[in-house]
Every structure is written in C-alpha cells, then in structure tokens.
Amino acid sequence: MLLSNVRCLLARRVFDYAPIDCGKIEAHVKSSGITVSDLPALSKLVSSLSPSTLESSLKPFTAFSPIPADDVRKQAAEGKKVGYAVSYYLYLAYVRAVGESVPKPAGTSGKSEIRLVANSPEWMVVKKANLSEWKNPEILSAIIGMLSTVIRKEAEFSCKTGLDFEFEAQKLFGSFFKRKSLGKLGEALSSVSPIAVKEAAERIAIDKSPVAEVERLLYLKAFEYSGYMPYPGPELLAETYPELKIPKPRGNFGGKKRK
C-alpha cells in the first residue's frame, strides 16, 4: 500500500509542473457534463473520444512557448505539449473509475523538495526534485522519473514476480493494441471483464492484501499499451523538452530478491 500511496501522490503533483492549467481543464470537464464513476463509464467515454478533437479542445489550457515560425523542429516539439493536457484529462477519468484517491502527504506542508528514498536489500534508490531552485521543466522531469520508477516497483513488490505481472497484463490486454489508439483502449476496457482482471490479480498477487492494487495496475497497463497514459511519461517529456537530460534509472531495479 505504501508504494500505491506514493504513486497517487506523485501522479497528482506531476501535473502541477506540467505546462497546463489543471483548474481550467477540471472546469472544462465539469462543463462538458462528463461523469465517470466506474469502469463501464470510463470505457464508454474513451470509446467516444477522437484524439484530434480532444487535443483541439484542450489546447486553450496548454501553455505554449513562442517559437520562430521557421524552426520546424521546435514547433513540432512545442505542439506536443498538449499531450500533458490529454494525460490530465484521462487522469481525472481514471482515478474516478478505479476509485483511487490522493492521500494526504506526510509531514509539514511548504517543503522545498520532493524526495523518493528507498534503502532495503530489495531496492535502493534516491531521487529528488528541488522545488525552490529548479525550473518547472526540471521538476517535471524529476517527478516523471520518480513516478515511472514507482509504477514499475509497485508491480514487482505487489506480485510474486514482475514477470508474472507483465505476463497477465499482456494476456488480458496486449492483443488489442498494434499501435497508439484511444478507440482500442475503449474496446479493451469493455471487452475484458472485471472478473477476469480480478482473477488475474488474485493469481499473481503476493498475498490477498494487494489484490485491489494489482487490479488497478493491470488497468493502468492497458492505458500504457494504448499509448495514452493518465500520467505523463518519459517519452512525452523527451518529445516536449528535448533540451533536458532525461533521468536514467538508478539503484537496484532487478527482480525482487527472495529469501
């Protein structure tokens, strides 16, 4: 549960440093009359979305930097920033559909640093984001790195092995996706029964306690296969901020050691 809470916290904080107006996107969703309270509603919503129409509707809430008209490469990178708005739109729907809430951060508010630290025989890592000295793209990069790491380790520590998780996710959702597709995501979510997802989670969970967590991770994997994650990832970061050095994984990222 600890890693699940960390993922939920990082997933919400990452958008604070993305080039989007979260409040206006939330207002846009509310004014559109969109309500998502469960997986069938999420599937229906995703199936109805046209990527180009969705991006057009979210561009007004994306902060684009002025780029010279003759700099085609930078213009293309700048245009892809709407991907952060699309991720936040999907994030709002995903957390409601799977019943995920953002836990209250531990400690005092107003800290100038976000830090991910693990020091155990199974996993050692130190990552941080300096909120007072770094610029937003640098903070965004650091949090995306933390989030990507936590998602991977959450599956490893919740399941008997990370390979078990990848196998079950592929078996459930992998056949639906040949390329990036919102439509196929809707099809996958509607075609794979919640019972099948729960049974898969029960087979691979290390014990009974993380079964619900593993179910949410399996659904998150379907989003990953579709190319439309509800969190911004390293690929979007590299496309939109090519000048940044994308953080590489550090520490022990092998399979969980067994006694």
Distance CA 66, CA 69 (A): 9
Q: What local confidence, expressed as pLDDT, does residue 249 receive? A: 46
Helix (H) or strand (E) holding 216: helix 211-226
Per-residue pLDDT of the chain (259 residues; tens, 9 = 90+): 688 999 999 999 999 999 999 999 999 999 988 889 899 999 999 999 999 999 999 999 999 888 777 777 788 888 999 999 999 999 999 999 998 877 665 554 567 889 888 877 788 888 899 999 999 999 999 999 999 999 999 999 999 888 899 999 999 999 999 999 999 999 999 999 999 999 999 999 999 989 999 999 999 999 999 999 999 999 999 999 988 866 554 443 334 443 3
Strand duo 113-119 + 124-130: pairing: antiparallel
Q: What local confidence, expressed as pLDDT, does residue 26 receive? A: 94
Strand partners, 20: 62
Q: Where are the beta strands (DSSP E) in the chain?
A: 113-119, 124-130
Query: Taking the CB of residue 180, how many other CB atoms lie within 10 A of it?
Result: 12
Q: What is the pTM of this model?
A: 0.88
Closest to 1 measured CA to CA, from 101, 90, 115, 143? 101
Q: What are phi and psi of 115, to 5 degrees?
A: -135, 135
Distance CA 259, CA 256 (A): 10
CB 166 within 8 A of CB 156: no
Q: Any idea what DSSP says for residue 124?
A: E
Q: What are phi and psi of 113, to 5 degrees?
A: -150, 140
For residue 127, the SS3 value is strand
Task: Classify residue 153 as exposed, middle or buried by CB count within 10 Å of its CB (0-12, 13-18, 19+).
Answer: buried
Domain boundaries, the chain: 2-104+113-240
Closest to 116 measured CA to CA, from 152, 91, 84? 152
